[in-house]
Amino acid sequence: MEIFNEIKPLRAYLNTLRRQQLTIGLVPTMGALHHGHLELIRASRKENDVTVCSIYVNPTQFNNKNDLEKYPRTLDADIAQLSTVGCDAIFAPTNLEMYKKASELRFDFGSLDKILEGEFRPGHFSGVALVVSKLFNIVQPNRAYFGQKDFQQYKVIAKLADELLFDIELSSVPIVREPTGLAMSSRNQRLSEPDKLKALVFYHSLLMAKELLLKGESTAAVKVKVKEKCEALPNVKLEYIELADTENLIPSQNVSSKTILLIAGYVGEVRLIDNLLME
């Protein structure tokens, strides 16, 4: 497995592969890898000759300094995990390599980046779009792989790729969960074992909400019940639960196979998200 910290040698390596007509899959991550990330690598390996995993904790997508500072960084363990699943190359750049100077570019995705995560994390999706654009330009992959766990992020990136004419096929990989049902997340590393049990309340809330909605309860009534369920636990705070259209993420009052439940909240100071398709 090749490891690159700089753009220039990575580009040279990829150009050689492209000259051999080999296809390239990109899996962008922020490291602290878990089985969810490894599923993305496996998906890429199935469809491409060469898989590149980027590991970069992108400062411009953090609206909370504490979250950025506390984000787990486990590069050695990440390298070891990636070598077990046949990843071909890692791109782990420094901040200076990715941002020679502070960027003044800002992205606006209309309503898509103002709601849900966008409402609670202002500027987040602009930072995501900036770093993903850079990664797409550096790697120029044939395909790129993302998790359904960050459903809104996937929609933002799909819009970015569509409007900027990136010739890259995007794939969304289903959420990988712990045996308990907890959605795998790098941020789970910041939770104690008792807090991991508490964090399950978000997945359980999604399951409860889905069941209630399918029985005909109103979204308003379901939101109240979910808030009560979450906040019955000490140190748990619900930020939102929303039923939304899978196409544009506009909140929906009516359940259909084209809607999705999205939830976000805190256990202590760790912010977690999860979602569940209504299909």
Site for ligand AMP in 18-37 (CB under 6 A): 29-30, 36-37
Binding mask 35-74 for ligand AMP (x = CB under 6 A): -xx-xx----------------------------------
**Residue 51 main-chain phi, psi, to 5 deg:** -115, 130
The nearer residue to ligand AMP, 36 or 265, going by C-beta atoms, is: 36
Instruction: State the minimum distance, in angstroms, from the CB of residue 216 to ligand AMP.
Output: 31
Report residue 273 as tokens: 């998200």
Sole window of 79-87, 101-109, 141-149, 223-231 interacting with ligand AMP (rule: CB under 6 A): 141-149
Q: Total binding residues for ligand AMP by CB under 6 A?
A: 17
Distances (CA, A) of 123 to 106, 120, 186, 274: 8, 9, 21, 20
Among 185, 205, 252, 275, binds ligand AMP (CB under 6 A): 185
Please indicate whether residue 37 is annotated as part of the active site: yes
Q: How far is the CB of 124 from ligand AMP (least distance, A)?
A: 12
Does position 147 interact with ligand AMP (CB under 6 A)? The reply is: yes
Using the structure block, give the residue that is written with the tokens 């979910």.
Answer: 226
173 near ligand AMP (CB under 6 A): yes
Instruction: Candidates 5-13, 94-102, 145-153, 205-213: pick the segment binding ligand AMP (CB under 6 A).
Output: 145-153
Burial class (CB in 10 A: 0-12, 13-18, 19+), 243: buried
Q: Which of 34, 35, 37, 204 is catalytic?
A: 37
The residue (of 115 and 183) whose beta carbon lies closer to ligand AMP is 183
**Nearest residue (CB) to ligand AMP, 191 versus 222:** 191
Report if residue 186 touches ligand AMP, rule: CB under 6 A: yes
Which of 45, 121, 143, 149 binds ligand AMP (CB under 6 A)? It is 149
Query: Annotated catalytic sites, by residue?
Result: 37
